[in-house]
Structure 1
Amino acid sequence: MSDAATCYTFEGALETAISMEEEGFRNYLRALKAVQNKGAKEILRENALDELNHKHQLEKALIEGQVSSSDEMLREIPSMNLDYVLKQQDLGPDSGVREALAYAIHLEKGAVDFYGRVADGCAGAPMAALFARLKAEESLHLQRLEDLYEQHFMTEN
């Protein structure tokens, strides 16, 4: 991936974001092929489709020459930082839902961090808003995954 401290032109910013989404999709696809657990496959499949949707939206913006405004949330959602307590590991045939969620949490956290670094590198430039929006969207995905993990695997005392 390109140096995240660099600011981009409109096309460069979109190409960078498209590459990031493609990489995320490929990671989910590899994991999806590796696992056998039905629940794990469903989590990975949904997240792979989210990555494809983001990529499609960005490619459409590249063709149209502008990013469409939407009603999607534009603020970053705070994370529980489960990536710090969950082990990052590749998935295999015996991986279950817990491992798939941990895997997805790490991928989404990586995307949040990447988009945040690029937005900071573009501070004050028009592209900063695009990357801040992408960071906010990824943080929403991260929060949903963390909430799901908490609901199913973190017991209350």
Structure 2
Amino acid sequence: MNENEVCYTFDAAVEMAIQMEEEGFRNYLAAIRKVTNKGAREILSENALDELNHKHQLEKALLEGNMAGDASLEQTIPTMHLDYILKKEELGPNSGVREAIIYAIHLEKGAVDFYGKVANGCSGAPMGKLFAQLLKEESRHLQALEDLYEKHFMTEN
């Protein structure tokens, strides 16, 4: 097991995930406060609410000592890896929907990477399933953002 493959106790793992979701929410909130474009604010707000929902699920799991699985998330969600070709930039008052989606793609990719590392490190442990589930949820969000970007901003459409 290398330094990127570390497994934690259930409580420690869930606390880390809660912190990750809180940071994601705070990043979206800061971005919302910067942009004036209504569409951009809506995209960022929807994603901020997703982060709050994840945080609430995790806090509930911490209280209950486990997290119920979601049968709809049994398959890994493929993404287009747009984060590699779309440069992340800070948002400002003149940022539009395109910039907001790119910003959100990069935030979600960070969460996917985090949960992927912890899921791999905890493979076989009870909390490994929890992080695999969170990885799939974040991958689903990333895929939805990439699909939205593709629909509205890719040249072939």
Give the TM-score normalised by structure 1: 0.94
Q: Which amino acid aligns with 2:28?
A: Y
Contact 1:25–1:52 under 8 Å retained in 2: yes
Residue 62 (1) aligns with residue 66 (2): no
Q: Which position in structure 1 is the counterpart of 2:26?
A: 26
- CA–CA distance in structure 2, aligned partners of residues 20 and 72 of structure 1: 23
Q: Which position in structure 2 is the counterpart of 1:75?
A: 75
- CA–CA distance in structure 2, aligned partners of residues 18 and 7 of structure 1: 16
Deviation at 1:140, TM superposition (A): 0.1
- CA–CA distance in structure 2, aligned partners of residues 20 and 131 of structure 1: 12
Q: Which amino acid aligns with 2:99?
A: E
Deviation at 1:102, TM superposition (A): 0.2
Deviation at 1:71, TM superposition (A): 3.7
Gaps of 5+ in 1: none
Secondary structure in 1 aligned to 2:42?
Answer: helix
- CA–CA distance in structure 1, aligned partners of residues 11 and 129 of structure 2: 14
Secondary structure in 2 aligned to 1:142?
Answer: helix
- CA–CA distance in structure 2, aligned partners of residues 4 and 48 of structure 1: 27
Q: Which position in structure 1 is the counterpart of 2:39?
A: 39
Which ranges of 4 or more aligned residues in structure 1 deviate by more than 4 Å? none
Q: Which position in structure 2 is the counterpart of 1:116?
A: 116
Deviation at 1:4, TM superposition (A): 5.0
- CA–CA distance in structure 1, aligned partners of residues 137 and 151 of structure 2: 21
Q: Which amino acid aligns with 2:37?
A: N
- CA–CA distance in structure 2, aligned partners of residues 62 and 125 of structure 1: 17
- CA–CA distance in structure 2, aligned partners of residues 9 and 126 of structure 1: 9
Alignment length (residue pairs): 155
Query: CA deviation digits over 1:41-64, x for unaligned, max 9?
Result: 000000000000000000011111
Q: Which amino acid aligns with 1:122?
A: C
Q: Which amino acid aligns with 2:88?
A: Q
What RMSD, in angstroms, separates the aligned Cα atoms of the two structures?
1.3
